Every structure is written in C-alpha cells, then in structure tokens.
C-alpha cells in the first residue's frame, strides 16, 4: 500500500475492563515493558495515519495523560452503549477527513500494519467495507462471518444472535473494520440495537453495507494477531506470544540463546550478531547489545549499552546509564548505574559503580563501591586508564583517581589520587599477643559459671 493514501485510525478503548481487576486502564497494561496501546499505535505509524482518534470512557483521565502531547485526539463515549456507538463518537473529530477509516480495539496490540494494508487494498479493489476475520481452534463466543469462497461476506452475526448452523462456521469476526469516510459515518448511524444485548454492534456496519448493495470483503489473518486482552491470563498469554516472536527474531539475526524460553526481552531491545545470551536473562527497556557480547546467566539489564566483545554476569545488574565499551567485563553480583566502563576495563566481583567513569584497562577489585550519594546530591568518580582498585575499597565521591594509580585493598579514599600513585587508607594494625586466648578462657569460665548457677537453682 502506498503510504500516501489518506488513512485515519479510530481505536476503541472505552470499556471498563472489569476482568483485569485493576485500577490501571486495560490498554495501558504493558507487554514487554510497553503499554499495549502503544504497540498498536506503533504498528499504525508505519502507515502514516493523517489522524488517530482514541475513544475513551472509563478512566478517561488515564488515557488523556498517557497520550498527552503525542498528536493523538481523544473522543469520549458516555454512556457506553456498544462498539458502534463508540466508533460514532469519533465522527465530530473526523468530520472533515476524506479517506480510509479503520476502526479497531485498543486491547488487540498484535495487529500489524501489513494486515491493515490488505484491508485497504480490498477497498480500493471495489469493496465498500472490509472486515478482518480469523479461524481460532475454539470459536468460543466470537461473532461469525458467513462468506463465500472468494471472501464476499453474506452475513455478520453475533454469537448471541447466531443460529446453530451459523455457530458451526469457524470464520470469526475480530471486530476490525475499514471503510471510506464517505460511507462509514452513515453506516454507523444506521446501526440499531435490536439484539439480545440491546447494544449497538460495530459488525452491523457491514450488515448495513450489504443491505445497501455494497460489497463487503473479509480479509483473514491468524488468531494470534487479533487476540483480545481482557484478563490477566490473556495478558500473560500475549506476553508469551510477543516474547516467542522476539526470541525467534533475535536468533534469526545471529544471536545464540542457550535456553530461549528463559530469556525475556523488552519491546526495544537491540541485539547484534554473534551475541550469546545464557539462561534466565531479563532485558528491561532501552538496552543495546553489540556484536560478539556475552550475557551470562541470571543477569538483568535496563537502559544499558554493551559494546563489542563485552561480558556481563552471571548475576550482574546493569541499570540505566550503564555503558560498557568494547571488551569490558562485569562479573557476578556487580551493579552499574550511570557509569561508563572503558575498553577492556573489568569489575569482576561484588561491586557497585554509580555515577562513575572508569578508564580503559582499569581493574575494579571485589567489594569496591563508589560512594556517590550523600542523601541529597550525587557525585562523580573518575578512574583513570589502567588504574588498579584493590578489593573492599570505598571511593568517596567526588573523586578522581589518576591513570596507573593503585588503591590498596581496604582503603576508604576521599581525596584525589595522582597518576602512578599508591594510595593506602587504613588504620595502623594493632597487635596484642595472647589477648584472644585470654578472652576465650575468660568467656568459657563465665559461661560455665552461669550454667552451674542455673542447675543449682533448678
């Protein structure tokens, strides 16, 4: 489809979502760290819609806040009288729009631009209305589409109103519909509520079009693309579906996943070639992994950039602002936040680096922490190239440690360290020969006396 054809999207999100049992609007629940509504909007972005309208009702303020400043218009449905009534609420905002109008549900985040393209192509080939159908393994209570082999729709019927023969048909209605703006508002306004639920049903747009003699075409897709999310269980199923797709995409792009089902990606995770990801790794938003990196088991990354040939983990945590340049290594139980590790730098064990800059080739010993926060402000630690920080060191920011400097193990450093300098900050060792033996003897005698006293009293 040419992206120049005028296209507007109407997304229905006015329902209460009671089965989610949540204070959060249903369409704002995340999949792969991103609200399901945003997944849908991202798909539509590829078609460059001229207008996008979200129809809201329950929790209107939440949607208004989530969409603020994004060029998306919001129509309000009050009261909620059905899906056709909801779609009609967009008419005042699109009254002057001339082009194709898509109506879909905000809780179907897997809908793809390519599928909408096929529906619009059907309109341009002569159909008056295009509807999206699918064939699930279990037809449940879905509305049915009665169609000829060439896709011409003869009837649309809700499950509640369908006969036994109609319910035997396995072509189901997804609720997604496309029509031209010159037709859709008229067809919506003609929808009645003479049905079992007394609601204004969106599929009746197609029924009305057929009644006018217009051609209605069904375009088919797989059930996974149009699966609605109405409960926590369905949200989890959608997450699993999305993760399975992302894992396949990562492996097809040249990454090795040791135990794919245990790796969880975010919606925007970027993975290079020849990357190895071991089991039980979680990627939060905004993570980029360059070619040849290795992410070892039980690591969690969020807002991090990992350079070529780096190694992370096992049991490492990279937080927002963590940057590892080529060949850097972070080992077990190391946490990094707002810190840069230069090329070949290493922090292999039990360390925290926050608000820090670590030079190329530097070594951070086990148990090292950057003391970057005083309860009010955060301060930066700069560690020079090839510096060696001994184990169990506390680096009290703001602090600069020069290139090739050595900080002795167990030091608490609060003043800058010059290049090539050794800094040792320890209390002088105190030696008292025999003190421990005398202490143990005294404590044993005291304990024995207390035990004897209890026995005497008993």
Of 413, 439, 440, 445, nearest to 426 (Cα)?
413
Token couple for 155? 């009837």
CA 390/CA 351 separation, integer angstroms: 11
DSSP string, 212-227: TT--EEEEEE-GGGG-
CA 191/CA 179 separation, integer angstroms: 15
The three-state secondary structure class of 182 is: helix
Instruction: Name every residue whose Cβ is closer than 8 Å to that of residue 200 and which is 6 or more positions away in sequence.
Output: 81, 82, 83, 84, 85, 88, 191, 192, 193
Hey, which residues are catalytic here? 349
CA 49/CA 4 separation, integer angstroms: 9
List 83's β-bridge partners, or say none.
none
Token couple for 292? 């040849």
Q: Measure CA 132 to chain center.
A: 27
Task: Judge whether 126 and 119 are in contact, CB under 8 Å.
Answer: no
Q: String of b and e for 225-238 (b: at least 16 CB within 10 Å)?
A: bbbbbeeeeebeeb
List 155's β-bridge partners, or say none.
146
């Amino acid at each position: 489809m040419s992206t120049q054809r005028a296209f507007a999207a109407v997304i229905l999100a006015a329902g209460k979502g009671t089965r989610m049992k949540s204070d959060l609007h249903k369409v704002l629940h995340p999949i792969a760290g991103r609200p399901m509504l945003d997944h849908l909007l991202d798909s539509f972005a590829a078609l460059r819609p001229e207008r996008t309208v979200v129809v809201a009702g329950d929790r209107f303020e939440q949607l208004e806040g989530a969409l603020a400043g994004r060029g998306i218009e919001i129509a309000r449905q009050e009261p909620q009288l059905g899906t056709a009534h909801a779609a009609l609420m967009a008419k005042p905002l699109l009254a002057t729009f001339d082009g194709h109008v898509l109506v879909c549900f905000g809780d179907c985040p897997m809908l793809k631009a390519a599928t909408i393209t096929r529906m619009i192509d059907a309109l341009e080939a002569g159909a008056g209305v295009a509807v999206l159908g699918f064939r699930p393994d279990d037809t449940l209570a879905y509305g049915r589409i009665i169609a000829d082999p060439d896709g011409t729709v003869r009837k649309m019927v809700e499950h509640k109103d369908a006969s036994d023969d109609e319910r035997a048909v396995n072509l189901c209605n997804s609720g997604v519909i496309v029509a031209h703006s010159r037709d859709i508002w008229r067809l919506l306004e003609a929808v009645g509520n003479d049905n079992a639920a007394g609601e204004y049903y969106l599929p009746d747009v197609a029924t009305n079009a057929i009644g006018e003699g217009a051609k209605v075409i069904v375009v088919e897709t797989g059930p996974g693309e149009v699966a609605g999310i109405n409960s926590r269980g369905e949200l989890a199923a959608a997450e699993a579906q999305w993760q399975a797709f992302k894992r396949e995409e990562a492996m097809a792009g040249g990454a090795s996943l040791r135990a794919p089902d245990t790796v969880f990606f975010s919606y925007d995770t970027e993975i290079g070639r020849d990357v190895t990801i071991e089991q039980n790794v979680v990627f939060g938003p905004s993570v980029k992994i360059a070619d040849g990196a290795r992410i070892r088991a039980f690591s969690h990354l969020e807002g991090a950039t990992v350079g070529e040939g780096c190694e992370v983990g096992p049991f490492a945590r990279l937080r927002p602002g963590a940057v590892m340049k080529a060949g850097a290594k972070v080992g077990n139980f190391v946490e990094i936040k707002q810190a840069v590790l230069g090329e070949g730098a290493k922090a292999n064990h039990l360390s925290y680096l926050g608000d820090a800059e670590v030079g190329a080739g530097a070594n951070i010993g086990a148990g090292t922490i950057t003391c970057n926060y005083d309860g009010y402000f955060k301060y930066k630690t700069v560690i020079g190239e090839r510096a060696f920080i001994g184990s169990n060191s506390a680096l009290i920011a703001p602090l600069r440690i020069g290139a090739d400097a050595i900080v002795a193990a167990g030091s608490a450093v609060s003043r800058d360290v010059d290049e090539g300098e050794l800094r040792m900050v320890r209390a002088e060792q105190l030696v008292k020969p025999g003190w421990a033996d005398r202490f143990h003897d005294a404590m044993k005698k005291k304990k024995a006396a207390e035990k004897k006293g209890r026995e005497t009293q008993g």
